[in-house]
Each structure stands twice: as structure tokens, then as C-alpha cells.
Structure 1
Amino acid sequence: MLKDESQQPLVSVIIPTYNRPNYLKQAVASAIKQSYQNIEIIISDNCSTDNTQEIVQSFRDTRIRYWRQPENKGMFANQMHAFKMARGKYVASLHDDDMWNEDFLEKLIPPLEEHPDLILAFCDQYIIDANGVIDYAGTQGNTRSYKRDQLAQGVHQNLAKIGLVDKSIPTAAACVIRNDFVDWDSIPPEVGGMWDIYLTYICCISGHGTYYYPERLTRYRAHEQTDTMQSGSRNAQAKIGKAKNEIFCYKRFMEDSRLKEFKSYFKQKWLEANTTLAIGLMRTKQVAEARSYLWCAINEQKFNLRTIAALTLSFTPQRLANQLLGGAK
């Protein structure tokens, strides 16, 4: 049951954006239309070169706080700047290409109010395409892949397993976090595009629990310009950047004694990231540097077909290696 708006705690909606005005318009509209009305909408514009500011101003909503970076700060710095602007008791990240259902906040805030020891609440999500059409097969696959189909509604305390191993918590897209439980300055820039999983890590080691609401209350847009797509086989530099972020994060998780139960899992992910980084470096003709990461991975795991194949390719003539690497992930 919703409280009167004057009694509702303030929620800060965080929307970082850069050169996606049409998607941004849909994202902001979905925030404004929330049935839970006591919100501030923080839009941090990473120095867009289009009509982003005009789009924001067209809403004429006093709850919007717009900030334009004087220069492009990079995705991570822009995201963190927005979090640090938040004045709400709770914060929720909404990427400029995603959307929320109208009852997203209405359904996730009450469990946090009822359980003041919980650090976050999260839900399931739809997957939509570039045009906003729901991909039902992709949605089902996403739910199963992140094991949200195995989670019961309610309070959960085993955050490390849920958040860092199963990755059930969509921190960047379908999650509400208690603001004063997080030190935003403790998230180092080395995490880059992995800021969401590192934020999950901070929540895990806090000792607080979470609440899961199994309904799909948000819409995650899968399209050509997402970080996930760019860091696949399409963009070598994006692949290199993501792999470096993963190496930093998984090394930190692996070395944290509070997470020793999952050390072997984190080590495996760290090794995979080393190989991924090497493949990206080989695509950009940085073969000698790539080999150092491959030797590191081989020394730690002895036998891994993907790593050995990549190392073998590093000694293959460049033209042939490039052709073979075109299909490597």
C-alpha cells in the first residue's frame, strides 16, 4: 500500500546519457510516469553533441535535475557523478536506453521500508529490441541464465552467491539501493564498465540482505550500441577495456577473505578475462603484450583449450591469425 506522497521517502533516479536523445526521451518518460511520485530524476549528460538538453527541457518537470559535463568524462565518471548527486534515501539506476514499468518503484520501495536492514531490492526484467518490442524468448533465456527463475520472492541473505556468482541482481537496470549504505567514493575507476557488478560486491560485503520481487518490472534494451554488444566480436578496443575491468574486479573478489567460499569461481573468471584481453590485444597487433597474459593464464590453470589456441595463434602469421581471430570470442 502506497503512503501519501508527503510521507514517501525520496528516491533518486539516476540516468546517465550520451547522444541517445530518442531513447533518453522514453527512459525519462518512464521515470516521470512512476506511480511512486516522490522522486528526483538526475540526468548526467556526458557532453552530448546532439539535442539532448532540449529533450530534457521539453518535459518541464521540476523533479528533473539536469547536469551537463563540460567535456566527455567517460562512462564510469559520468555514472558515478550522477550517483553522488543523489539526495534520496534510495537510488535506482536507469540507463538512457532502458525503461521502467509504471509500478517499478511502487513495488520495490515497500519491502525496503519494511526491512530497514536490507541494502537493496530487485526484480526480473523484460528484454526488448532496438524498437522497444519485447523479445519473449530472449526474456525467458535471460531469466533462466541469471537464475532468477530459481529465486523465491522475499528476503535473501546469501548476496555473494546471488549477486556475484549467479549474477541475478541487475544492479544497473532493475534494482533499488539504500543510498546511505553505499560509499560511492569506494568504487575505483579501474572497474569501468563493470561498475554494476562492483557495486553488487560492495553490497555483498556490507553484511546486509536483499529482497527479490519476481515480476518483470523493467525493460532492458538489447541493441547494437550496448557495451555487451560492443565488447563481443565487434569492437576490439571495447573488448580490451572490458577485459581489463574484469581482471581488476575478479582479482579483488578473489583476494577478499570474506568471499573465500567462491574463490575458485572468481579465479576462473579472472583467468578467462586474461585470455579475453589477450585476444583483444592480438586483434590490435599487440602480440607481445598479449602473450604475457596468455602465459599468466596457462601458468595458473595449466590446460585450457581456448588459452592454448590463442597462444598458438600468437605465433601464427598475422594475416592468418586475424582471419581466425575474427570468430574468436
Structure 2
Amino acid sequence: MSFFQEYQQPLVSVIIPTYNRPEYLKQAIASAIQQTYQNIEIIISDNCSEEDTQAIVASFADLRIRFWRHEQNVGMLANQQHAFKMAQGKYVASLHDDDMWNEDFLAKLIPPLEENPDLIIAFCDQYIIDANGIINNLGTEENTRGYKRDKLAKGIHQPFYKIGLIDKSIPTAASCVIRNKFVDWDSIPSEVGGMWDLYLTYLCSISGHAAYYYPERLTRYRAHEQTDTMLSGSRDVQAKIRKAKSEMFCYQVFMEDTRLQQFRNYFQQKWLEANTTFGIGLLRSEQIAAARSYFWQTLRRQKFNTRTIVALSLSFTPEILANKLIKMSKE
């Protein structure tokens, strides 16, 4: 690509929030630098890592990288938002510090956005990789089918409430490019927590603009033991509590949005499930009275919810037996 061609390309801000993943971070940065689409800035926001992240960044000696380090841990969402608000590009793309992009990721998703100014987001399919970066073929196929991208037509989708919020086909966290000026990054409330990507999809879907799907796997999502969903022991309980609390907030917002009334029953069901999950987390944390209030709240709305009834019953079971049963449960 000539200098003139590169100069004509709109600036894309690549957002990489990071915390204590030095080896993975190196791979993520490398995948951003190696993009065939060259007019980018790479914003790395370090959430007060114990590791010397700045030395890792400096080792790349790439002037397109902008580095920020928080003096104290501000939390995952605040770190992510800070990076988004640093973005100067016409487009922004989030890249987790443990994920990677194919070198043509931006080259294939930017053109549809440039050709259609009404598009707010362009997204693709993704590979699932393990901790060592090896592609999990079975997991990849299950991921594609699970999020219904195998049945999703290439091209423009408008409206995209269903594919975004029901099917969850849009991997907002690491496999999409967003038109920057259409999103108010301050409008993402702190209560969304780890569900920020779903809430961002919500903001994009209610914007009135369209989405574009490119049916090719252009990114690599890493599934490994450092993620919240794969933690063990007490940390696993706290991760479930955090996730359930975030889901309760998001689905409450979605339920109350008049633009989404055709999906209200679905959102209510997900809200009830999150209430029960939150209650189970409290139960496992021995906050029995608090847990019961969430079980009762769920049953007032859905009387014959087997999962909630079982959980509520456990809260009245003698402690030793209850602990054994809870440990045996999949929750």
C-alpha cells in the first residue's frame, strides 16, 4: 500500500484494555500492528497491572501506540470506557488483551462502513482458541451455531434488535468495528459491569442505524482459565454474583424500553433467570435471608420455575446437607 493510499484511509482506533496478561497482551498488540489496514491508532489502557506493561508496549517501538496506565485499579468497565473515550478515530474496534485478529480483520470490515454512512457497526464470525492459541474446531463450530451466525445472511440488517439482543450474534467485545460518532461512551452506566458488550449492542441497536455482517472468521477469541466464567471456588461464586447482577440491570432496562416491547417476555425471562442465579450466589455465600428474597421475587412472577423452587428449598435445608447439595449443583 502506498503512503497516499494509507493517508486516504480513515483513522481506526484499536482499543486494548489490559490487566496482568503480559504474554497474551504481546500477541494482541502484534495482531493489531500486523493489520493490512494501516491507518490506526492503538490505545492500550492498563488497569494498574503488577507487570511492567509499559516495557512490553515500548518493545514494539510503534508510534501508532498510545499508552495509559491507571494509578490504581479502576475496574474492568471503567478501564474499557477510558480507552474508548481516548479514541480519536472515525471508527473504534475493541480488542481484548487475550484475543487476536486476523491480519485482514479491519481491511474487510471498514469498506462496508465507508460505503454506507448509515451503518453503525460491522461484525464478523470468530474462531475459538485455547490458552495456547490453538484453534478449537469443535468449540468454534458450536460458537457459530450457538449465536446463530451460521444462519445469518451476509450484508445489512436493520433493525437488528433480534440478532443483537436475542440471538446475541454480534460479538461486540472483540469482533466488530463501530462508527465512533454514533455512540456516547458516557451513556454506558457502571451497573452493566461485565455485560458492557451486550449493553453496547443495545445502544447500537436502538440508534436507528444498521448493522453489517461479514460471514468469515476474522478474529480469535481465547477461552482460558483466567476468564470470569472459568474461575473456581469462592472466586467462581463472586464471578457468578457479578454477572447475575449485571444481567438483572441490563434486562430490566431492555424490558422497560418501549422500542423493544415485542421481546419483553424474553427479557423478563432472562431477568428472572438472573434473579435466581444471583440468589444462588448469595446462598453459596451464606447470605440465606437475602437469597430467599430473590427466589420469592422470581416466584411471584413465575410460580412454576423448577430451578427457583429447588434453590428456595435448599435455603431451608440443614446447613451441612445444603452445602453438599449446592456443591453438587451446576450453579
Aligned-residue offset at 1:232 = 10
Distance of 1:22 and 1:112 partners within structure 2: 33
Distance of 1:52 and 1:130 partners within structure 2: 20
Contact 1:277/1:290 (8 A) holds in 2: yes
Residues 240-290 of structure 1: per-residue CA shift (max 9 Å, x gap): 111000000000000100000100000000000000000000111001000
Distance of 1:238 and 1:318 partners within structure 2: 23
Residue 260 (structure 1) aligned with residue 244 (structure 2): no
Distance of 2:160 and 2:282 partners within structure 1: 34
Aligned-residue offset at 1:228 = 2.6
Contact 1:31/1:100 (8 A) holds in 2: yes
Distance of 1:231 and 1:271 partners within structure 2: 25
Residues 27-84 of structure 1: per-residue CA shift (max 9 Å, x gap): 0000000000000000000000112221111001000000000100010100000000
1:108 maps to what in 2? 109
Aligned-residue offset at 1:231 = 8.6
Residue 19 (structure 1) aligned with residue 20 (structure 2): yes
Residue 75 (structure 1) aligned with residue 57 (structure 2): no
Distance of 2:286 and 2:330 partners within structure 1: 15
1:217 maps to what in 2? 218
Contact 1:247/1:274 (8 A) holds in 2: yes
Distance of 1:51 and 1:83 partners within structure 2: 22
Give the count of matched residue pairs: 329
Which SS does the other structure have where 2:125 is aligned? strand
Per the alignment, do residues 124 and 28 of structure 1 end up closer, same or farther by CA in structure 2, a change over 3 Å counting?
A: same
Unpaired segments of 5 or more residues in structure 1? none
Which SS does the other structure have where 2:220 is aligned? strand
The aligned amino acid for 2:303 is K
The aligned amino acid for 1:328 is K
1:129 maps to what in 2? 130
Percentage identity across aligned positions? 74
1:193 maps to what in 2? 194
Aligned-residue offset at 1:229 = 2.0
Contact 2:121/2:210 (8 A) holds in 1: yes
The aligned amino acid for 1:218 is T
Contact 1:275/1:307 (8 A) holds in 2: yes
Which SS does the other structure have where 2:60 is aligned? coil
1:289 maps to what in 2? 290
Which SS does the other structure have where 1:168 is aligned? coil
Residues 113-145 of structure 1: per-residue CA shift (max 9 Å, x gap): 001001000000000000000000000000000
Mapping of residues 12-161 of structure 1, within 5 Å? 12-161=13-162
1:164 maps to what in 2? 165
Residues 172-228 of structure 1: per-residue CA shift (max 9 Å, x gap): 010100000000010000000000000000001101110000000000000011123
CA RMSD, Structure 1 to Structure 2 (Å): 1.5
Distance of 1:119 and 1:232 partners within structure 2: 40
Contact 2:229/2:236 (8 A) holds in 1: no
Contact 1:231/1:238 (8 A) holds in 2: no
Which SS does the other structure have where 1:217 is aligned? strand
Distance of 1:290 and 1:51 partners within structure 2: 41
Residues 143-187 of structure 1: per-residue CA shift (max 9 Å, x gap): 000000011111111311000000000000101000000000100
Unpaired segments of 5 or more residues in structure 2? none
Normalised to the residue count of structure 2, the TM-score between the two structures is 0.97
Contact 2:159/2:209 (8 A) holds in 1: no
The aligned amino acid for 1:130 is A
The aligned amino acid for 2:87 is A
Distance of 1:121 and 1:191 partners within structure 2: 23
